[in-house]
Amino acid sequence: MPRKNYLFLSKFTMRLIAIIAVLSDHIAFAFVMPNTALYSAMRIFGRVAFVLFAFFVVEGAVYSKNKDRYLLRLLYMYVIMQVLIVGVNLYDAGFIFQNIFLTLGAGASLLVYFEKKAWRKVYYLIPFIIAVTLNILALNVGIYSLLIYAGDYGNYGLLLIVGFYVTFILTKKLLAKYNIDPADVTTPAFVEPQVIMNSAVSIFLLIYTFIYYVLDIYSLTTFDVGMQSFAIITIPLLMFYSGKLGYTSKAWQTIYYVFFPLHIIIIAIISQFL
């Protein structure tokens, strides 16, 4: 008798949720009155987005057949996004955005360096070093003119990506050690490889959020932990992730990457007329 599959969220579905969460967060930030229930709900739901982006950067760095092409795609989006951010800021200095693709691309460059194991190719580490340096100077040292060049979510975001990666690799080694076969229908559902992987990254996210929350209590972080603590609502999504692609096409890939700068442009334009 075939084992029931309770993992019903594909990569396509999770990415779609991430896009909707980003839109919810940014619409609330730009147009909804703060300190209202609607504002809080929309921004709390928005915490889901970066966690999923970080998670899929890890999968991209590990599973991409052409890792250099994957990095270049993130680099292109970083350049487009940075030009947009600088342009908007020059038009109105009140618009201060940070570049999420700096965080995602820098994190991916570090992971690809370890995945390739070409230790002499240290140039893969340059984006990560630049991102950490900019984040420290802008967010910790207080050189606020660099804020528009820093990475969105700062070093919190970079560490989240690294943490997901370390959890991913350690769990894969654990699965290999005990030789758990996903095709064996007699294997209990709770020890399926994907279930174990989902549980591992969920536990990491819970611990990571708790650590940042404690650091915030003692004022040891400049990151907005109060809001970001709601990132733990991503855990149910991670737990039901199937590991399967779901719907995929070149058009969808383009939409997934282009959406971010495009929706920022639209929100910025609309805000000028309100």
Average pLDDT of the chain, as a whole number: 89
Helix axes of 250-271 and 67-91: crossing angle, nearest 10 degrees: 10
Is the Cβ–Cβ distance between 256 and 15 less than 8 Å?
A: yes
Residue 22 confidence (pLDDT) above 90: yes
- Domain assignment of residue 63, given as a range: 11-271
Residue 83 confidence (pLDDT) above 80: yes
CA distance 12 to 267: 25
pLDDT at 268: 81
Residue 255 confidence (pLDDT) above 60: yes
Give the pair of three-digit tokens for residue 48: 């889901």
The answer to whether residue 258 is domain-embedded is yes
How many domains, the chain? 1
Confidence label for 191 from pLDDT (cuts 50, 70 and 90): low
* Phi and psi torsions of 252, nearest 5°: -65, -40
Burial of 255 (0-12, 13-18, 19+ CB in 10 A): middle
Residue 183 confidence (pLDDT) above 50: no
The answer to whether residue 46 is domain-embedded is yes
Percent helix, strand, coil in the chain (nearest 5)? 75, 0, 25
Residue 43 confidence (pLDDT) above 60: yes
| Mean pLDDT, range 7-29, rounded to an integer | 95
| Mean pLDDT, range 125-129, rounded to an integer | 96
The answer to whether residue 5 is domain-embedded is no
With vertex at residue 265, the alpha carbon angle to CA 138 and CA 43, rounded to the nearest 5 degrees, is 65
Is the Cβ–Cβ distance between 59 and 86 less than 8 Å?
A: no
The answer to whether residue 3 is domain-embedded is no
The answer to whether residue 186 is domain-embedded is yes
> What residue has token string 């383009």?
254
Confidence label for 139 from pLDDT (cuts 50, 70 and 90): confident
Is the Cβ–Cβ distance between 150 and 98 less than 8 Å?
A: yes
| Mean pLDDT, range 234-255, rounded to an integer | 93
The answer to whether residue 2 is domain-embedded is no
| Mean pLDDT, range 172-199, rounded to an integer | 72
The answer to whether residue 221 is domain-embedded is yes
| Mean pLDDT, range 15-30, rounded to an integer | 95
The answer to whether residue 103 is domain-embedded is yes
pLDDT at 140: 84
pLDDT at 1: 38
Residue 222 confidence (pLDDT) above 80: no
Cα-Cα-Cα-Cα dihedral sign, residues 178, 112, 116, 10: positive
